[in-house]
Structure 1
Amino acid sequence: MPSILWAALAAAGLLAAPSLRAQGADEFQTCLKTLKDDARRAGVSAAGYDKFTDGLQADLSVVKLLDDQPEFKTPIWDYLAALVDEQRVADGRALLNQHKEVLDKVAQRFGVDAATVVAVWGVESDYGRSFGKRPLLQSLGTLGCFGRRQAYFRGEWFALMRLIDQGDLRIDGPQGAAGLVGSWAGAFGHTQFMPSTYQRLAVDFDADGRRDLVASIPDALASTANFLDKAGWRTGEPWGFEVKLPEGLDTKGQGRKAKKPLAEWAQAGVKRVDGKPLGEGGPAGLLLPAGPKGPAFLVFRNFDAIYGYNAAESYALAIAHLADRLRGGSPFATAWPTDDAGLSRAERRELQTLLAAKGHAIGEIDGMLGAATRAAIKAEQQRLGFAADGRAGQKLLKALR
C-alpha cells in the first residue's frame, strides 16, 4: 500500500483490519531500514541507530493528531480558562520564590525576566507535573514514516538520537528508551523543547556536564530564557497590554504583524483599558483574539518572541497573561464575547465528578477532557436539551450542579 494511502487510513481511524495493521507494521520496518543511511549522514552513529530502532513499533495514533492541535481548535476563552487559572497562578508565584536565586542568575545572563520564564514552564508542563506520556523515539519514528511533514519529523527524530548518543539524554534506566517520554509531536522536558531546539539552544546551567532539560530545573529555565533571547527578546520591555478601542475604529487588516508607532494608536483614540494614555514604547500591533467585541491588546516585539516558542497567538497570549498574573496583575478587564465562559481545571474536575456520579465511565478525574469525558458531556447535553457539541462550559456545569 502506498505510504500516503496508509497514512490517510491511519488518520481516519480505518486500521481495524489485521491485514492492514500488519501491512503498516511491515511498511514501518522497511522505512526504518531505509532511513539508516539518512540517520548516519545526520550524525547518528550506526550502533546508536540500531539500538534505538531495535524492536521499535509504530504508534499510528499520533498521525491523526497532526491536525488536532488545541491552540487552533479550542475557543480562546476555553483555552485560557484552563491554562491561566488561579491554581496555576498560585503555583507559579510559589515557584518564583523557591527558585529565585536561579531565576535571578538566568535573568542576569539572558535578559529575560523570571515571571516570563516561569510562565512558559507553567503552560508547557504545569511546572514539571506533565511531561507527556508517549515514548519519544516511537512517536517521532512513526511521524517520520507516516503522514504529512515526514521530513520535519525525521529531522527531529535524528536530533533526539544525537542527544542520546552525545550523553545529554540517558536511556539507561529500568524502562530504557521507553522511559524517555513527551508529547505526541516529540516535545519534552520541563519546558517542552523539540529535539532540534534542544540541540541548538539548551544550556548546561547547573554545570554538571550535561544539558538536561528533563531532570535539571536550572538547565530547563535557563534554556527557555536562551530561546526567548535568541528569538529577539528585549530586556525591560513589556509584551503588550490590554487596551480599549474607540467606537467605530476600523480594525480591518490589523494584527500582530501590522505594527504602528504608539503615537498613531493614540491619535486613533486607543487607550489603555484603565483609561490612561498609551505612553511611550516601540511599534505595536493590534491583537483581537476574539474579534473587536472581545479583549483587545497592543503587542510589542516581546510578544513575537513568545510566539516563536509555539506559533499560535492564543498560546503566546496565555504565556504573556500568566506572566502578568505572576507579577500580581489582574485578569483581563474586558469579558470574552460569549455567554458560556470556559472552565478552570478545578471546574473541569468538578464537572468530571458530576458526570461520574451520573454513571458515565470517564476514567480518572484529572481535569483533562479526553474522548470519554467529551462523550459523557454530549450525552448530558442531549438529555438537557443543549447543543450536543461535547464542549465543557459554565452552563453545563451549573446545570449539573
Structure 2
Amino acid sequence: MSVLRGLVLCALCAASPINAGPIPRDVPAQISPIQTANAGFTDWITAFRTRALRQGISATIFDAAFANISYNETVVNRDRNQSEFSKALWEYLDTAVSDARVRNGRQAAQRQANLLAQIEQAYGVDHEIIVAIWGLESAYGAVRGSTNTIEAMATLAYDARRAEFFEEQLIAALQILQSGDTAPRNMIGSWAGAMGHTQFIPTSFLEYAVDGNGDGRRDIWGDDPTDALASTANYLRSYGWTFGQPWGVEVQLPDGFDYATARRENTRLPSGWAADGVTDMNGTAVPDHAAASILLPGGHEGAAFMIFPNFEVLESYNTADAYVIGVGHLADRIAGGGGIQASWPRSDGALSGAQRIELQERLTAAGFDTVKIDGRIGPLTINAIRNYQLANGLVPDGYASVRLLNRLR
C-alpha cells in the first residue's frame, strides 16, 4: 500500500483501541514466573498478572513483557520530584526555540517534505506544527527515550502515588504488545511512559495511533517517523485542529489597555480587539481567524499574544502554556517567521514548586482564595492574583511572580 493511500485510509477511519477478545469470566490463580530483587514488587506483579489476564491480556504476552524487569528507583524519584523543577518561560523558550532547533527543524521538514505534504492533505493539520511537536518531544527523532515502558509503568503503578493512572497505562501498553505493533524489547520511551518520535502515552496510542505507511503496524518507535507523524496529525485533528488558523499571534497593546480583560474566557474577534487598539507587531489588525483572547504569559512586562482555538488543541497534548507557546513559536520559526519581539522580565526568576504553594497560601490568607493549594498556577490562582492586584492598585495581569510573592511576604 502506498504511503498516501495508507494516510488517506487512516484519515477516514482512525485506529480503534485494540480488541483483545472476550474477557475470561474466571482466570485461575497462578504463580507468576516473574521474580525481582524487590519482594514487594514481585508480589504486586503476581497480583497484577491475574488482573491483566482477566482484562484479556494473554499469559504469553504478559510473561514476555515482564521478563527481566526490575523495580526502577530512578523512575520513582523523577516522578516524585518533577514538581520541584521550574524554569521561567523565557528560559524555556531559549532552549525550545533555539537557533539550532529551528535550523534542525527546517532541515527535518525539508527531508520529509513529501511525507509531510501527504499528512497535511490527509489530516488537515499544518505540517509545521507536526514538525515542531516532533522537535520538542524527541529532537526530531534523535532522543526518543531509553527506559523500558513496561518496567516504568509497573514501577509507578506499584509505587501507588498515582497507581490507578499508571496501571491503566500498563494495561494499554500490554494491549499494544498483544496487537503486534511492536515487541517488548522495542517498547522504550521516557521515564513517564511517553513513547516514540512524538511521545505518545499508551492510552493515547490506542486511541489515536495510525498505520501511516500501510505496513500493518503502528510503529512509532523505529527510525522511520511516518507512523508517529501521521499519528500526531490524527491526534490534533481529533481534538479539533483548524487548518490555517494560527495558534497565536504576538500583539502590541495600546497605552491604557485594561489588563483585567486579558482572560482566557474573554474572547472577541481580532477586529474587535483592533477597535480597542490591539494590533500585530506591525501595527495592523490581526485577521479575523476566529474569536481570540489575550494571553500575558510573562505579565504586563512581557510579550502579549492573541490566542485562537488551536491554542487549546495544543493544550490537549501538553497543558503547560510554555509548551504550547514553544510548539507554536517553533512552528512559526520553521515556517520562516521571526522571533518574539517584546522583551521578557528576565530579572524576575521563576517560582519554585514550594514558592507556588506559598503564594497560594499567602493569597488565601490575605482574603483572595485560590480554592486549591496545589502549586499549580491555573485559572483559579490567576483570578485570585488579579483580584489582589486590583485591590492593591497593581496592574491586574494575573501574573504569578517572585516580586508578587515578596510583596505578600
Show the counterpart of 1:193: 200
Q: How does 1:21-170 map to 2 (within 5 A)?
A: 25-69=38-82, 73-170=86-183
Moved more, 87-96 or 53-62: 53-62
CA displacement 1:97-120 (0-9 Å, x = unmatched): 111111111011100111111111
CA 1:42/1:273 → structure 2, altered by over 3 Å: closer, same or farther?
farther
Q: How does 1:210-249 map to 2 (within 5 A)?
A: 210-215=217-222, 216-249=224-257
Query: What is the RMSD computed on CA atoms of the aligned residues?
Result: 2.2
Counterpart among 316, 325, 346 of residue 324 in structure 2: 316
Matched, 1:269 2:282: no
Q: Deviation at 1:260?
A: 2.6
Q: Is the 8 A contact 1:76 1:290 kept in 2?
A: yes
Counterpart among 294, 300, 304 of residue 296 in structure 1: 304
Q: Deviation at 1:157?
A: 1.0
Alpha-carbon distance in structure 1 between the residues aligned to 2:249 and 2:45: 49
CA 1:200/1:79 → structure 2, altered by over 3 Å: closer, same or farther?
same
Alpha-carbon distance in structure 2 between the residues aligned to 1:224 and 1:295: 29
Alpha-carbon distance in structure 2 between the residues aligned to 1:99 and 1:111: 17
Q: Is the 8 A contact 1:112 1:233 kept in 2?
A: yes
Secondary structure of 1:35's aligned partner: helix
Alpha-carbon distance in structure 2 between the residues aligned to 1:160 and 1:234: 31
CA displacement 1:262-307 (0-9 Å, x = unmatched): 2332233211122111231211121111111101101111111111
CA 1:226/1:29 → structure 2, altered by over 3 Å: closer, same or farther?
same
Q: Deviation at 1:257?
A: 4.4
Alpha-carbon distance in structure 2 between the residues aligned to 1:67 and 1:227: 29
Counterpart among 344, 349, 353 of residue 336 in structure 1: 344
Alpha-carbon distance in structure 2 between the residues aligned to 1:124 and 1:239: 18
Q: Gaps (5+ residues) in structure 1?
A: 1-22, 172-176, 343-401
CA 1:127/1:250 → structure 2, altered by over 3 Å: closer, same or farther?
same
Q: Is the 8 A contact 2:189 2:195 kept in 1?
A: yes
Q: Is the 8 A contact 2:270 2:285 kept in 1?
A: no
Matching residue's letter, 2:336: G
Q: Deviation at 1:69?
A: 4.2
Matching residue's letter, 2:216: G
Matching residue's letter, 2:208: L
Alpha-carbon distance in structure 2 between the residues aligned to 1:258 and 1:328: 31
CA 1:214/1:255 → structure 2, altered by over 3 Å: closer, same or farther?
farther
Alpha-carbon distance in structure 1 between the residues aligned to 2:165 and 2:39: 22
Q: Deviation at 1:258?
A: 3.7
CA 1:254/1:166 → structure 2, altered by over 3 Å: closer, same or farther?
same
Show the counterpart of 2:211: 204
Show the counterpart of 2:380: none
Percent pairwise identity = 36
Alpha-carbon distance in structure 2 between the residues aligned to 1:270 and 1:202: 40
Show the counterpart of 2:386: none
Q: Is the 8 A contact 1:71 1:314 kept in 2?
A: no
Show the counterpart of 1:284: 292
